Structure 1
């Protein structure tokens, strides 16, 4: 719906990919848009000129050339694009984002991904992502990508955009993206970490991890201390805490602290709360109360 005295001068261009589409939209008048829940896709809106006011769920963002937005598909959305606003839009398939997120976190995610709606384009990591996106737009204008292709180049472009977005934009999976080990780490360490990642919710002991990794508890302790500066059980606790934080953030206040503790492998609520507060500087309930931002 258009409002005000401006001329309703609308322009839209679109380039389709496999799971992402690039869009350019301009309005010559103030326009109110109320799509509700997008359901099947995320929508990133990056102002190239002008400004807009975006509400996604309980979060309202004043968006301009320094602040973009990402609309979560399971949150009610209402927008006001002010006269002269021009935006670059990325429409991204929700299932594809969940697939990539599960691959890079090595975790089955339920629920899926929910982002903080405000994207700070002046933050270093996000700025690098935006530079990459502008290069993709230029390639699309030249017909190199987003021109109906379904080959390696198109898949690589889309995957790299989503991976970098997940790495830089705060979301419910951010706690799961810590990478404590390099690709050159000893094989026994990698095997032990794989067991921790796969079975962190089980009541694992040091002997369980060492046996599964094919070594002795003493050797495993020495390898972890040398490579990571912490013990295997400390790494197990870190993994449990990061998964608990993911659950508290991602469920938007729908899951209790007790549920998050249990599902992340904690058997003693008091010790869980103490360890969580020590690591993240807040009580789990405080994280839960702030989950509406996602």
Structure 2
């Protein structure tokens, strides 16, 4: 089933693509890959130097799903860290060799996956001439947000810089990839924007983070991971209770019995984000709760003003970036 991913919908019709799907032109392929994945360098490694590349893609929430092959053996390296993406490459044809460091590589045969956060570490991979990949491109910020929402903290580079193989034959991760492909076949055009797509995005990210962390030797559900000093916990409680009044960081630090500088350092060490980021999240979550439970006659602007937002344009932009929908969409539901 994975080998035919993104080709046909559930009725057997070709899934529409907004881009050309077949090319032997290096410049065109580079344009593809830079837009869908991120900029990187690629070079042929066999006797053939002209590719016969194919690419089909679809969106699940903010995750890009891609069926991709160069048609010749290649080496890919120097993935752009500035693009801010992690990639999960699942081999559905041929073999891929992923370099963990300059001296060690792991191979992914058919059904095997490899995860690397190209926003935090380098990456080098060799594909054989028969390779075919089903890849996920996930913004790093999305993974961080899922960690905050589900595990209460954002891991550091012990996770993000860990490159590893996951999944494989009979694994739950591979079963999830089959499910993802089936969902795309049934609704190839809807999963980019609707609630089912955002739910599937969350499922993919949570499963990935658990698999990834286990191989990095981290326990995301381990209470020891979320331990923080009393000042951090007091600050979080104060910001949660007073988010709507938009307290200053001086007021937050005073409530926690410490200085702004010490509080910021503690948040960076134990939460991997600034206290102002926590306050911003509490305000957005408060707005969302009010919009969902809003009584008749309540408007988006009324709710936004209650939570301290003055510029409705900036608020709407931040809300959509966080929740994947406009505040008016939430209010209508």
| Contact kept? 1:53, 1:63, Cα under 8 Å | yes
| Contact kept? 1:19, 1:93, Cα under 8 Å | yes
Tell me whether 1:201 sits opposite 2:229 in the alignment.
Answer: yes
Shift of 1:28: 2.2
Tell me whether 1:159 sits opposite 2:202 in the alignment.
Answer: yes
Deviations 1:76-122 (A, max 9, x none): 11221110101100000110000001122212555695163222324
Deviations 1:146-188 (A, max 9, x none): 54641211110100111111122236683232379xxxxxxxx
Deviations 1:2-26 (A, max 9, x none): 2323462211111123310100012
Counting only pairs closer than 5 Å after superposition, residues 2-151 of structure 1 correspond to structure 2 as 2-6=44-48, 8-39=51-82, 40-56=84-100, 60-73=105-118, 74-109=120-155, 113-114=159-160, 116-122=162-168, 127-142=171-186, 144-145=187-188, 147=190, 149-151=192-194
CA distance in 2 between counterparts of 1:64 and 1:32 reads: 17
Which stretches in structure 1 are left out of the alignment for 5+ residues?
181-195, 205-258, 265-294
Cα-Cα RMSD: 3.4
- Count residues with an aligned counterpart: 190
Deviations 1:9-60 (A, max 9, x none): 2111111233101000123211121233444110111111111222255663
SS at match of 1:175: coil
Superposition TM-score, scaled by structure 1 size: 0.55
Deviations 1:211-268 (A, max 9, x none): xxxxxxxxxxxxxxxxxxxxxxxxxxxxxxxxxxxxxxxxxxxxxxxx99xx66xxxx
SS at match of 1:170: helix
Counting only pairs closer than 5 Å after superposition, residues 195-234 of structure 1 correspond to structure 2 as 200-202=228-230
| Contact kept? 1:23, 1:90, Cα under 8 Å | yes
Q: Residues 115 and 130 from structure 1, CA distance in 2 versus in 1: closer, same or farther, beyond 3 angstroms?
A: farther
CA distance in 1 between counterparts of 2:219 and 2:169 reads: 19
Q: Residues 167 and 83 from structure 1, CA distance in 2 versus in 1: closer, same or farther, beyond 3 angstroms?
A: same
CA distance in 1 between counterparts of 2:184 and 2:193 reads: 14
Q: Residues 123 and 178 from structure 1, CA distance in 2 versus in 1: closer, same or farther, beyond 3 angstroms?
A: farther
Which stretches in structure 2 are left out of the alignment for 5+ residues?
1-42, 233-264, 271-333
Aligned to 1:285: none
SS at match of 2:193: coil
| Contact kept? 1:98, 1:112, Cα under 8 Å | no
Q: Residues 123 and 26 from structure 1, CA distance in 2 versus in 1: closer, same or farther, beyond 3 angstroms?
A: closer
| Contact kept? 1:57, 1:75, Cα under 8 Å | no
